[in-house]
Amino acid sequence: MAWVNYHSHSLYCDGKAFPEDYVNQAVEKGFPAWGYSSHAPVPFASMWNMPSEKLPEYLEELTRIKSDYSGKIQVYKGLEIDYIEGLWGSRQSGLINLPIDFTIGSVHYIGQLPDGSHFCFDGQPEGFFKGIELLYQNDFRKAITTYYQAEMRMAEVDNPDIIGHMDKIKMHNAFRPYLNEEEKWYVSLVEETLEVIRQKGNMVEVNTRGLYKHMPPLLYPGKWVLERIHRKKIPILLNSDSHHPDEIDSGFAYAAELLLGIGFQSLRVLIDGKWQDKAFDKNGLLF
């Protein structure tokens, strides 16, 4: 019994190990396939995106690993590409034309701060609340709406294979509550976003990073969103967003049980160069 995972970060961006360390761990655990998805470059200085001058080396290194490990595990080359409204996306940047096997589209930046820097909400809570104050005058509804509007535009314009951590804007809620997910406006916003995703045919990843990094644990997207995804028959896959080789399937057993409880019967996997649906139980994919 084994898993697959296509969302991982190495030393080329903000991950903690060499790309090869991850594939070795995946082979060890009997994974049939493994995917790399470093944070693609953005057009400004960033702590965690890959600098653009490293991109050719990243692609070459993955090509080498792909060939060195053929016969042992299928290796896929991907990128997690930022969508930044009005500024950046896989199409606007041309990153979509690179020789890669898949793209994860994610929104991490939702505006520009008074000092000109780009506001990444996906950092420490202090920075998040400061940014919302400076940029949105503490109007959380406005900030959250901006986030989902960017998600919708990303699905429409960039049409990535995978929508990354779809409701991550909720991540700091336990630190200081700013979002009640039961409020009507929020439910409608999520519904509207899912409808765009359904029409565009993107896959939504079930991202387990919040299960092993946050207290209390968080799954992206959460259970009620997953129930709606199930009703809409939007394809899902399980990704751990690993930044360390020890995290390649962290949280998968928990998430798989929850998905089975909702009624999901299969997960989408990239095997033999083709996205396909595979049955699963809490211990792994069923081949």
Token representation of residue 139: 């109007």
Instruction: Give the per-residue contact string, 98-137, with Zn ion (x = CB under 5 A; - = no).
Output: --------x-------------------------------
Task: Report, in Å, the least distance between residue 178 CB and Zn ion.
Answer: 20
Output 85 or 227, the one with its CB closest to Zn ion: 85
Output 161 or 241, the one with its CB closest to Zn ion: 241
Task: Report, in Å, the least distance between residue 80 CB and Zn ion.
Answer: 5
Output 61 or 80, the one with its CB closest to Zn ion: 80
Is the CB of residue 17 less than 8 Å from the CB of residue 244? Answer: yes
Q: Which residues in 75-94 contact Zn ion (CB under 5 A)? A: 80
Output 101 or 241, the one with its CB closest to Zn ion: 241
Cα–Cα distance for residue pair 190/174, rounded to 1 Å? 20
Q: Which stretch binds Zn ion (CB under 5 A): 66-74, 146-154, 235-243, 246-254?
A: 235-243
Tell me the residue length of the chain.
Answer: 287
Task: Report, in Å, the least distance between residue 113 CB and Zn ion.
Answer: 20
Cα–Cα distance for residue pair 149/86, rounded to 1 Å? 12
Which one among 241, 251, 264, 280 touches Zn ion, defined by CB under 5 A? 241
Supply the DSSP string of 53-88, one letter for each residue.
GGHHHHHHHHHHHHHHTTTT-EEEEEEEEE-BTTTB
Task: Report, in Å, the least distance between residue 39 CB and Zn ion.
Answer: 7
Q: Is 240 in the site for Zn ion (CB under 5 A)?
A: no
Q: Which stretch binds Zn ion (CB under 5 A): 190-198, 213-221, 228-236, 240-248?
A: 240-248
Please enumerate in sequence order all residues whose Cβ is within 8 A of that of 22, keeping only pairs 6 or more positions apart, or say none: 8, 10, 34, 36, 242, 245, 248
Output 173 or 266, the one with its CB closest to Zn ion: 173
How would you class 57 by CB atoms within 10 Å of its CB: exposed for 0-12, middle for 13-18, buried for 19 or more?
exposed
Output 80 or 249, the one with its CB closest to Zn ion: 80
Is the CB of residue 42 less than 8 Å from the CB of residue 88? Answer: yes
Question: Total number of residues binding Zn ion (CB under 5 A)?
Answer: 3
Output 16 or 230, the one with its CB closest to Zn ion: 16
E strand map for 70-195: 74-82, 102-106, 109-112, 118-120, 162-163
Token representation of residue 121: 């909400």
Task: Report, in Å, the least distance between residue 58 CB and Zn ion.
Answer: 15
Q: Which stretch binds Zn ion (CB under 5 A): 58-66, 74-82, 87-95, 181-189?
A: 74-82
Four-residue CA torsion sign, 87, 92, 97, 100:
positive
Output 125 or 263, the one with its CB closest to Zn ion: 125
Pairing of strands 274-281, 266-271: antiparallel
Token representation of residue 188: 């409608």
Task: Report, in Å, the least distance between residue 1 CB and Zn ion.
Answer: 25
Q: Rule CB under 5 A: which residues touch Zn ion?
A: 80, 106, 241
